[in-house]
Structure 1
């Protein structure tokens, strides 16, 4: 209790620590090399997602429903990377594992919020692909910019309400056991488990978040792809099937990279005893890698993005030639 600042007055029973100690990476062998990897991940993710956002924003031909979804995913990746990794950098560079109470709640909100937006955006993109394959002739009349805007606004609204309620519940807890967080960021579970008063609501919200943003997306995306594969069986030629499947390939990679590692870690923790260090490394990788890989996958596998890059290089080369052609 010497490290805790009690806010107890005569009529107040809530104990809040002045700061938290994030101990997630303590005791992990060769952790400095992992931090170097995270540095690289951060810069690639920030540059890659900024580039994708710039491409979609500036190229008017990409202002269509599918690329609105991709823009939203890149924005969530950019936000989640900046909410998560700079704090880890601070820990490594300045050997500072302490974070104030209010900063911790803010960190918790933004990490969980952007993870939630990522997850539901993948669901929106899955059903965008399903409609494109199921009803190709009616796709543009069904999936309009206004429909995609409404879907994405709903995603942000749901995430704000659920994550805001989840984080707000922490402020009502009396955290008098310890100020240590056995995770790599201000994780919800390790914090509410330190409460001395009733934490039932926080436990319920944790289960709700897991159901809404992990299990529901996994089931919803799986069902969409079952529908897609059933539609592919109706296509008579292999060339037609491969062409239709190619439109979903990028999305399937994104889903696999984002959902499978997190779900695997949760299942492993439920089925057998998972070492805390293994859980922390697995979940941190599952949080850090998708924002780095997503823009690379999109740029390499999307014709419109490759065409945009070629067009930029052509413009740059032409401008150089014009400068060289000018008389001295």
Structure 2
């Protein structure tokens, strides 16, 4: 981060606090029940995402370009909730609201990185569906293992670069007044608003990140489904249309679960009680990673068949021994 500071001049000294205090859920009645709920959400998320990743690794039939993106999504869901939920429980349930300056920026980096890659991963999956339905004959050529791995790697590099810039700009801020962050995590907006010097660059990059994480992926996904809808409309029979649409239901469910709560929160942000907004945002960050693997297991035929095969293989030695 010294690059960002040296670029501004050698004689500039920034006031960096030893720690921040995360106020989060303070003042919300019966909040401990919510912490118990978060704990169960985390356990289900870990088990479900680990199961999906394990199935993809064990079943050779699932080692296709599409499931490279599904594996990456499950991994980011697991990492995202593992970054957020244990730290939130430690801060509020065990009453450790203080977090050091460096730890806070690291926490912020990984929280937003996971959210960023989750959104971009939905774009990768929408590309897979567009090619599979609109250009089915070109699918084996256009969507290869090499292409999907390169795409996922590019998304990682892009997200990491943006988040390094976000955190780097925060390091040029001075905090000479309050150190109380009015959020449940080390949140970007509440942090830069505490600064006593000009935070315009952080303000601008904040809106850029919202556009990149929310509006750009959502726009690309919607445009993708417009192409899919147009292609399906030209299909002769209703059965073929339904069959083509059915292959998209899992992805559409993921898109709805990820984007709708965020859109509601930001659209009605001024009219929502601050405590309700914090609760809503926390659910928006931890709930989709729990539901995503469950949706893929319930709505994806290949994964359900793979689970049945693995179950049969697991039970067959027991049957042989009992005989």
- Report the Cα distance in structure 2 between the residues aligned to 1:65 and 1:309, rounded to whole angstroms: 19
Shift of 1:260: 1.1
Which protein has greater RCO, CA pairs closer than 8 Å, 6+ apart? Answer: 2
- Report the Cα distance in structure 1 between the residues aligned to 2:314 and 2:153, rounded to whole angstroms: 37
* Deviation readout 1:193-216 (Å, 9 max, x if unpaired): 111111111111101100111110
- Report the Cα distance in structure 2 between the residues aligned to 1:245 and 1:276, rounded to whole angstroms: 39
For residue 290 of structure 1, what is the aligned residue in structure 2? 288
- Report the Cα distance in structure 2 between the residues aligned to 1:264 and 1:130, rounded to whole angstroms: 27
- Work out whether 1:67 is the aligned partner of 2:67: yes
* Deviation readout 1:105-147 (Å, 9 max, x if unpaired): 1100000001000000001101110111101121111111111
- Work out whether 1:150 is the aligned partner of 2:171: no
For residue 243 of structure 2, what is the aligned residue in structure 1? 243
Shift of 1:92: 3.9
Which secondary structure does the structure 2 equivalent of 1:138 belong to? helix
- Report the Cα distance in structure 1 between the residues aligned to 2:99 and 2:82, rounded to whole angstroms: 16
Shift of 1:11: 5.2
For residue 106 of structure 2, what is the aligned residue in structure 1? 106
For residue 40 of structure 1, what is the aligned residue in structure 2? 40
For residue 5 of structure 2, what is the aligned residue in structure 1? none
Pairs within 5 Å for 1:1-328: 13-269=13-269, 272-325=270-323
What stretches of structure 2 of length at least 5 have no aligned partner?
1-9
What stretches of structure 1 of length at least 5 have no aligned partner?
1-9
Which secondary structure does the structure 2 equivalent of 1:21 belong to? strand
Q: 1:196 to 1:138 in 2, by over 3 A?
A: same
Query: More deviation in 288-297 or 49-58?
Result: 49-58
Whether contact under 8 Å (2:32, 2:93) holds in the other structure is no
Count of residues paired in the alignment? 314
